[in-house]
């Protein structure tokens, strides 16, 4: 074994410091470990991978062969020639950031220790003021709030006359400012409503005679009137008939009602009906007044009246309704129209309200047929197999709509009574123009 003396060690260190190579091998300084990083990144890895590949190929050929020194040197030589190349060396220098110089890659190396981060100081949330001090955090909107905020200020400041005078002036200015804002808001609201009123409405098609060249003035006025009624919501047309309910007796008039015989009695009867509609109450609830209001807002112009309520309110009035329905029911429906006008439009004198329909029902107990007299039998509806001798209830039209087969002109003919006849016109009622070819 060769022994080195202190003189040999000193000579070797001097040779290393001067960069002298021994057997064509240069020794690196102790602090030059960063020079080996390019080899770790891009040279040693491919070298190990190539060495493993050649060994695996050799083992596949001779599985029982022992890897000795000769095999190692032979395999390592082949792997060294393949891995240690110029391109791998340059890639290692570039990947480590040593050349070309890239400080970001050096600092991002996980081997480089980062200085410990100093934790940020914990910020404690400021708790809101309690009691009187909370008023100071609110922006006063009026003189009252400003005065309360001044009272919450501690110390001698709130007692200073000059400060109190200043706060009074500020409060007065706040009040005037708030009043001006409210006035402008009201003016803006009024102007918006006026703008909506003057905006062009939806037009309605004018129906005019097809044989005429232009629409005439009456047709245009009629279309405008229909459009005005549509905008007011009065487009619902109700039929003038009475819905029958079980347990009640109804009758239909045959001839025209005699309204002109005693006009004072009719006005008095209508006034009593209006009083019943407006003043009748059940458990402090105005039943029919509320019913009319709700139905009118929903564009349903009818009222469902219980005959028992009318009997409890005015027995004589109920007797007239059941004995003379042909005269009382039209008055009742007209009273419903007046009450609707009074309830829904109290401040408007001229409002077009559609005709109202009266619905009658009763909670009276059913009466056996054996207990009916001759007057009741005459008013019964015939039921096949049960009641066969009673008068037959027939349905009659209240209005006829006829149409000309040549020109298509339509006309409405009212029918006043149940057994009243109607005479159909012999000629079309359409106004003709000169040289009209339509027969």
* 268 and 312 assigned to the same domain: yes
**CATH assignment at residue 312:** 3.30.1640.10
Residue 10 lies in a domain: no
Q: Which runs of E-coded beta strand occur in 245-385?
A: 281-282, 285-286, 302-306, 357-361
Residue 253 lies in a domain: yes
* 73 and 108 assigned to the same domain: yes
* 108 and 142 assigned to the same domain: no
* 95 and 163 assigned to the same domain: no
* 244 and 328 assigned to the same domain: yes
Residue 327 lies in a domain: yes
Which residues make Cβ contacts (< 8 Å) with residue 246, sequence separation at least 6? none
Provide the pLDDT for residue 375: 63
Residue 220 lies in a domain: no
* 273 and 343 assigned to the same domain: yes
Owning domain of residue 101: 33-114
Residue 384 lies in a domain: no
Residue 312 lies in a domain: yes
* 346 and 419 assigned to the same domain: no
Instruction: Examine residue 100 and say whether the peptide bond preceding it is cis (omega within 30 degrees of 0).
Output: yes
- Cα–chain center distance at 108: 55
* 338 and 278 assigned to the same domain: yes
* 246 and 353 assigned to the same domain: yes
Residue 141 lies in a domain: yes
Distance CA 245, CA 164 (A): 77
Provide the pLDDT for residue 349: 76
Please give the chain's pLDDT, 439 residues, in tens: 445 455 554 555 455 455 445 555 555 444 445 555 777 778 888 888 888 888 887 766 555 556 677 887 888 888 888 888 888 888 888 888 778 888 787 777 766 666 677 777 776 655 555 555 565 667 888 888 888 888 777 766 667 888 888 888 888 888 888 888 988 988 898 888 888 777 776 665 656 555 454 555 666 677 777 766 665 543 333 333 333 333 334 444 444 444 444 567 888 888 999 999 888 888 888 889 888 888 888 888 889 998 888 888 888 888 888 888 888 888 999 999 989 888 888 877 788 888 888 988 887 666 676 676 666 665 555 555 555 555 555 667 778 888 888 888 888 888 766 556 778 888 887 777 777 666 5
Phi/psi of residue 359, nearest 5 degrees: -110, 125
Last residue of a domain, one of 319, 342, 364: 364
Copy the structure tokens of residue 20: 């002298």
* 80 and 168 assigned to the same domain: no
Provide the pLDDT for residue 84: 85
* 168 and 89 assigned to the same domain: no
* 238 and 299 assigned to the same domain: yes
Number of domains in the chain: 4
Residue 162 lies in a domain: yes
CA distances from 394 to 254, 357, 382, 385, 401 (A): 12, 20, 10, 18, 20
């Amino acid at each position: 074994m060769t022994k080195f003396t202190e003189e040999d060690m000193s000579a070797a260190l001097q040779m290393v410091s001067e960069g002298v190579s021994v057997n064509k091998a240069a020794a690196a300084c102790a602090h030059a470990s960063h020079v080996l990083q390019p080899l770790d990144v891009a040279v040693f890895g491919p070298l190990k991978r190539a060495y493993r590949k050649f060994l695996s190929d050799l083992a596949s050929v001779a599985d029982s062969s022992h890897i000795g020194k000769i095999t190692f040197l032979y395999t390592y030589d082949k792997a060294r020639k393949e891995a240690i190349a110029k391109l791998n060396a340059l890639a290692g220098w570039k990947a480590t950031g040593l050349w070309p110089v890239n400080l970001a890659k050096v600092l991002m190396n996980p081997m480089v220790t980062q200085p410990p981060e100093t934790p940020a100081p914990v910020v404690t949330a400021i708790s809101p003021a309690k009691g009187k001090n909370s008023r100071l955090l609110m922006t006063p909107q009026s003189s009252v709030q400003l005065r309360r905020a001044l009272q919450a200020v501690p110390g001698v400041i709130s007692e200073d006359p000059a400060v109190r005078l200043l706060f009074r002036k500020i409060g007065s200015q706040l009040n005037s400012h708030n009043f001006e804002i409210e006035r402008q808001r009201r003016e803006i609201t009024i102007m918006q409503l006026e703008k909506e009123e003057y905006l062009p409405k939806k037009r309605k098609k004018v129906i005019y005679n097809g044989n005429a060249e232009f629409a005439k003035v009456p047709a245009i006025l009629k279309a405008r009137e229909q459009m005005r009624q549509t905008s007011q919501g009065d487009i619902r047309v109700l039929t003038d008939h009475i819905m029958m309910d079980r347990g009640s007796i109804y009758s239909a008039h045959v001839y025209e009602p005699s309204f002109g015989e005693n006009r004072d009695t009719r006005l008095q009867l209508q006034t009593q009906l209006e009083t019943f509609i407006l003043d009748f109450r059940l458990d402090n609830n105005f039943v029919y007044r509320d019913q009319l209001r709700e139905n009118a807002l929903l564009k349903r112009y009818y009222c469902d009246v219980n005959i028992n309520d009318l009997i409890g309110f005015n027995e004589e009035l109920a007797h007239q309704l059941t004995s003379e329905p042909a005269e009382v029911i039209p008055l009742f429906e007209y009273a419903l129209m007046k009450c609707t006008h009074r309830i829904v439009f109290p401040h408007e004198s001229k409002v077009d309200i559609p005709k109202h329909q009266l619905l009658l029902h009763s909670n009276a107990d059913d009466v056996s047929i054996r207990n009916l007299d001759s007057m009741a039998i005459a008013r019964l509806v015939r039921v096949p197999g049960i009641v066969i001798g009673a008068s037959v209830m027939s349905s009659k039209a209240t209005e006829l709509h006829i149409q000309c087969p040549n020109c298509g002109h339509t006309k409405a003919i009212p029918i006043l009574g149940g057994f009243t006849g109607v005479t159909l016109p012999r000629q079309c009622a359409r106004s003709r123009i000169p040289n009209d070819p339509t027969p």
